[in-house]
Structure 1
């Protein structure tokens, strides 16, 4: 073998080794990943509200057997907690929790205070939320209310006051104005259609009973927090 052949063979071997080394280095070089676009996180389906609520009653009812009888109930201001779950951006369910009391007065034939009954009226509404107005988010709702009367007490001359629990219908309209992603302010109006039976004993008149038509308006304002 002549010197030229040896040199040519060495050159070929060197090129092969250089190619192998370059290939190995390429395998060790990290491959740059394509940038991933930021995707906004979906809002939580849970929301709570804390409201101050004015309870304004209908003041209607009767005492059976007393001509010209009528009933009235005191209004009140109460705190209220609402828990909302969003099925979609538009549809949600809201559970409304609060408690209040009403002073009951017969303001017709007898015209005297009868007693006081505390009321726990959990209400569940199905809501439709409008989403085309930016931070202003109005909604309407309808649902059911179950009113439970407890801690009932009587005034002088009366005993054994019993206002029966009953199921009612609730209608709702309101809006949130969101200040940022989580916090907002709320205004809400609900109408609850509530009529129930009641009874009481009187020292002179004996057993009395009738219908109590309360039908309260619940007008509230407060703070919204979306998780």
Structure 2
């Protein structure tokens, strides 16, 4: 009897160990790193508070390619970093001095989001939230202002997307983000208006993208 109990105990431990190894294997069966190339539309939802002369601001849309990298910590939790640069024309409108073109400016807005991916057979929805840090550079002040300066800004980002499997490696991606972005702008217009004008500008862009992705490993 003792021998039978000992054999049964050994067999039970062996089965438990095998099941644990199988579960570990299943849990680890996911791609940890993937890359996407998207075409994105950046649509600002702009408004401004302009000192002295009042008025508002308009910022043009931009359409550019974007590269992003995603790392999966688990099968469902991942972090995504996007890389792109956009160029926008800026204008102050309905001011005491009329409509004032302020040239254009380039934005470098690296955005890091933490995502939750829902499991699916062919379609994999995900939601995310994170931070954005936007750098403004190569500002062209336009025909009126002597100089326009934009402060770099930190904002929050929210995300919703879908991955549609083509096969085990390739997939099509649809993605939408909303970034809460605000910057302080200083317009040196002493030559034309005899003043330096400050403004607080809400850019708050909506970003829609479509592209293709590849699961690396």
**What's 2:212 paired with?**
223
Once the two structures are overlaid, the 10-residue window that deviates more, 79-88 or 155-164, is: 155-164
**What's 1:81 paired with?**
67
CA distance in 1, matches of 2:185, 2:162: 36
Per-residue Cα deviation, 1:10-42 (whole angstroms, up to 9, x for no partner) = xxxxxxxxxxxxxxxxxxxxxxxxxxx9x8883
CA distance in 2, matches of 1:44, 1:139: 15
Q: How does 1:88-107 map to 2 (within 5 A)?
A: 88-107=74-93
Q: How does 1:111-150 map to 2 (within 5 A)?
A: 111-131=99-119, 133-150=120-137
Once the two structures are overlaid, the 10-residue window that deviates more, 45-54 or 57-66, is: 57-66
- Of 208, 212, 222, 2:197 maps to 208
CA distance in 1, matches of 2:126, 2:214: 16
- C-alpha displacement of 1:161: 0.8
Flag as ranges the 4+ runs of structure 1 deviating above 2 A: 39-44
CA distance in 1, matches of 2:121, 2:94: 51
Once the two structures are overlaid, the 10-residue window that deviates more, 198-207 or 93-102, is: 198-207
Contact 2:30 2:75 in 1 (8 A): no
SS at match of 2:121: coil
Give unpaired runs (5+ residues) of structure 2.
1-21
Once the two structures are overlaid, the 10-residue window that deviates more, 108-117 or 73-82, is: 108-117
Once the two structures are overlaid, the 10-residue window that deviates more, 151-160 or 91-100, is: 151-160
SS at match of 1:157: coil
Give unpaired runs (5+ residues) of structure 1.
1-36
SS at match of 1:115: strand
Per-residue Cα deviation, 1:108-146 (whole angstroms, up to 9, x for no partner) = 112121121100000000000000x21100000000000
Q: TM-score, normalised by structure 2?
A: 0.83
**What's 1:49 paired with?**
36
Q: TM-score, normalised by structure 1?
A: 0.80
CA distance in 1, matches of 2:41, 2:115: 21
CA distance in 2, matches of 1:91, 1:127: 6
- C-alpha displacement of 1:43: 3.5
Compare the two structures and name the one with the higher strand fraction: 2
**What's 1:199 paired with?**
186
